[in-house]
Chains A and B, each alone.
Chain A
Amino acid sequence: QQPVQSPQAVILREGEDAVINCSSSKALYSVHWYRQKHGEAPVFLMILLKGGEQKGHEKISASFNEKKQQSSLYLTASQLSYSGTYFCGTIRAGTALIFGKGTTLSVSS
């Protein structure tokens, strides 16, 4: 089952913060976050494996609440380079990664 992402789009100015949410109606054992620039392949950001686990990548961090079956991606003091589409993914059947529909982030100066 495809995870649900919100919001669909975010518009920010440099230095502002944003939160992207990812939830599932089924039990989550891991959450994977990717960023895709226009016209390019998605790039892996981070994976969260345990309930309550938090990870960071530069000024981007994420949390995973296994009980609530959701994860949130936090972008702090956004930079122009953060622009792109963010996807969360969940593993199905131990093998296939299924992605949400994505959240488009636009950062302007």
Chain B
Amino acid sequence: SQTIHQWPATLVQPVGSPLSLECTVEGTSNPNLYWYRQAAGRGLQLLFYSVGIGQISSEVPQNLSASRPQDRQFILSSKKLLLSDSGFYLCAWSGERGYGNTIYFGEGSWLTVV
């Protein structure tokens, strides 16, 4: 069966520091991969999605970036964090394309920027 792992689970970072969140999927090949962010009490905002290695579509340019160095690995990064980057970050995957595209989420990473 397919599983998705995301880490770290929680982190507290000072403003201006770098960020790296990592996500891996097991049990499938060539998945679609996603990063979503949820600010406190808010909805799910799509940040990036990837349909293959090195292929990244950005929804929110800001100061975040994503990379997919391997088929089942997705990394979210920032060179300098802002207070507004605080939130719940969710990696997700799906195995299909098209309108039957069911997305499954990892456990999430809580980021607090201080």
Contact = CB atoms under 8 A, between A and B. Distances in A.
B98 interface: yes
A94 B21 CA distance: 26
A95 interface: yes
Contacts of B97: 94-95
Interface in A61-109: 87, 89, 91, 94-102
Interface in A24-60: 29-30, 32, 40-44, 47, 49
Given A95-B49, A96-B46, A49 B99 contact: yes
Interface string B31-58: 0101000000011101001010000010
A98 B57 CA distance: 14
A24 to B, nearest CB: 13
B7 interface: no
B99 A91 contact: yes
A91 B94 CA distance: 12
B90 interface: yes
Given A47-B100, A49-B99, A87-B43, A95 B51 contact: yes
Nearest to A90: B99
Contact of B106 (A32, A41, A91, A100): A41
Given A97-B46, A100-B43, A41 B107 contact: yes
B103 A87 contact: no
B43 A101 contact: yes
Given A49-B99, A95-B49, A96-B49, A102 B104 contact: no
9 contacts: A40-B108, A41-B108, A42-B44, A44-B102, A91-B98, A94-B101, A95-B97, A97-B34, A97-B103
Interface of B: 32, 34, 42-44, 46, 49, 51, 57, 59, 90, 94, 97-108
Interface of A: 29-30, 32, 40-44, 47, 49, 87, 89, 91, 94-102
